[in-house]
């Protein structure tokens, strides 16, 4: 991920993520007494917005830059941010069995040890706790696969990208396989669905989302 673009990960720069999260966030029954863990919170926009409905939210992210932007732009009295890897949140004794809810949006495809992260997040839940995960499969970002194939076969530019290998680790298990994985990682029940989100993006939203702001070198 281009962490130098952390400051751009807001507004149009995360239009897709925000829209999809808004379509699903009510699946989690947030209560005023809840403590919430937001794993891979990024710049903290939903971290802060959830904080308006619950007792407290702890946002964690592996990126120091993302945490710094979150602290600067999305702080609130009942929000705390920490730098921590999703695979290690369960190692923190203050967080183990410490949360009523956990969310993890658009994070799991950034590393291969996804079940390690799931076990770690599940260890942070109190008995009866709930989580909402949103993650992507290949179909979601098929456009990236298409763009890579196009470039690799390009007469002029193909030679420069022949060795390019995506570092993304999409979740390509079926619904049934996904439910099995979640149960093996500590959840008593796992509801799971595959959704295709057809979002119409303006040119500026598309460029911002791909981290190509017109006025900056990235
Ligand atoms: C696409 S952003 C999503 C941020 C936020 N959840 C949202 O929906 O806008 C992915 C985030 O995952 C974080 N991330 C990547 N690998 C991580 C890891 N191993 N542990 C914690 N956070 C990680 C990145 O730093 C980045 O902030």
The pLDDT tens digits of the residues spanning 49-105 come to: 999 999 999 999 999 999 999 999 999 999 999 999 999 999 999 999 999 999 999
pLDDT at 143: 65
Does the pLDDT of residue 215 top 60, yes or no? no
Are 131 and 142 in the same domain?
Answer: no
Cβ(34) – ligand 1 distance below 6 Å: no
Are 64 and 166 in the same domain?
Answer: no
Are 128 and 150 in the same domain?
Answer: no
Establish if 214 belongs to a structural domain. Answer: no
Beta-sheet pairing, 56-61 with 99-105 = unpaired
Does 165 or 81 have the greater pLDDT score?
Answer: 81
Q: What is the CATH number of the domain that holds 107?
A: 3.40.50.150
CA 27 vs CA 22, 30, 36, 124: distances in Å: 10, 9, 14, 20
DSSP 138-177: TTTTHHHHHHHHHHHT-TTTHHHHTT-----------HHH
Establish if 16 belongs to a structural domain. Answer: yes
Does 172 or 12 have the greater pLDDT score?
Answer: 172
Are 100 and 204 in the same domain?
Answer: yes
Selection from 15-24, 96-105, 157-166 with the highest mean pLDDT: 96-105
Establish if 17 belongs to a structural domain. Answer: yes
Angstrom distance (rounded) from CA 127 to CA 145: 41
Establish if 215 belongs to a structural domain. Answer: no
| Number of domains making up the chain | 2
Establish if 218 belongs to a structural domain. Answer: no
Establish if 68 belongs to a structural domain. Answer: yes
Are 156 and 110 in the same domain?
Answer: no
Q: What is the token pair recorded at 18?
A: 């925000």
pLDDT at 212: 47
Average pLDDT, the chain: 88
Does 208 or 87 have the greater pLDDT score?
Answer: 87
Q: Which atom of ligand 1 is nearest to the CA of 45?
A: 9
Does 103 or 207 have the greater pLDDT score?
Answer: 103
Are 82 and 36 in the same domain?
Answer: yes
Establish if 163 belongs to a structural domain. Answer: yes
Does the pLDDT of residue 11 top 90, yes or no? no
How far does the centroid of ligand 1 lie from the alpha carbon of residue 149, in Å?
Answer: 26
Are 129 and 147 in the same domain?
Answer: no
Are 96 and 69 in the same domain?
Answer: yes
Are 158 and 185 in the same domain?
Answer: no
Confidence band (pLDDT; 50, 70, 90) for 210?
low
CA 52 to chain CA centroid, nearest Å? 20
Are 63 and 39 in the same domain?
Answer: yes
Are 109 and 204 in the same domain?
Answer: yes
pLDDT at 188: 97
Does the pLDDT of residue 164 top 90, yes or no? no
User: Which alpha helices (H) appear in 9-137, and where do they start and end?
Assistant: 15-24, 45-51, 64-73, 114-123
Q: What DSSP state is assigned to residue 22?
A: H
pLDDT at 42: 96
DSSP SS3 for 199: coil
How far does the centroid of ligand 1 lie from the alpha carbon of residue 61, in Å?
Answer: 6
Are 160 and 83 in the same domain?
Answer: no
How far does the centroid of ligand 1 lie from the alpha carbon of residue 30, in Å?
Answer: 22
Average of per-residue pLDDT across 112-141: 92
Establish if 216 belongs to a structural domain. Answer: no
User: Which domain range does residue 166 map to?
Assistant: 138-170
């Amino acid at each position: 991920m281009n962490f130098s673009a952390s400051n751009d990960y807001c507004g149009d720069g995360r239009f897709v993520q925000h829209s999809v999260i808004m379509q699903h966030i009510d699946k989690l029954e947030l209560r005023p007494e809840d403590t919430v863990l937001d794993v891979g919170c990024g710049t903290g926009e939903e971290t802060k917005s959830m904080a308006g409905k619950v007792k407290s939210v702890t946002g964690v992210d592996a990126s120091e830059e993302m945490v710094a932007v979150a602290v600067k732009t999305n702080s609130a009295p009942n929000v705390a941010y920490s730098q921590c890897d999703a695979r290690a949140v369960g190692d923190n004794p203050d967080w183990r069995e410490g949360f009523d809810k956990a969310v993890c949006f658009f994070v799991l495809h950034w590393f291969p040890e996804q079940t390690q992260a799931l076990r770690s997040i599940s260890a942070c839940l109190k008995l009866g706790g709930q989580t909402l995960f949103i993650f992507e499969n290949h179909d979601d970002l098929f456009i990236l696969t298409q763009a890579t194939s196009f470039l690799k076969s390009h007469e002029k530019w193909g030679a420069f990208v022949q060795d390019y290998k995506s570092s993304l680790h999409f979740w390509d298990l079926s619904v049934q396989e996904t439910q099995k994985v979640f149960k093996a990682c500590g959840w008593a029940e796992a509801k799971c669905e595959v959704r295709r989100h057809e979002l119409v993006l303006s040119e500026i939203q598309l460029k911002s989302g791909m981290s190509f702001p017109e006025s900056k070198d990235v």
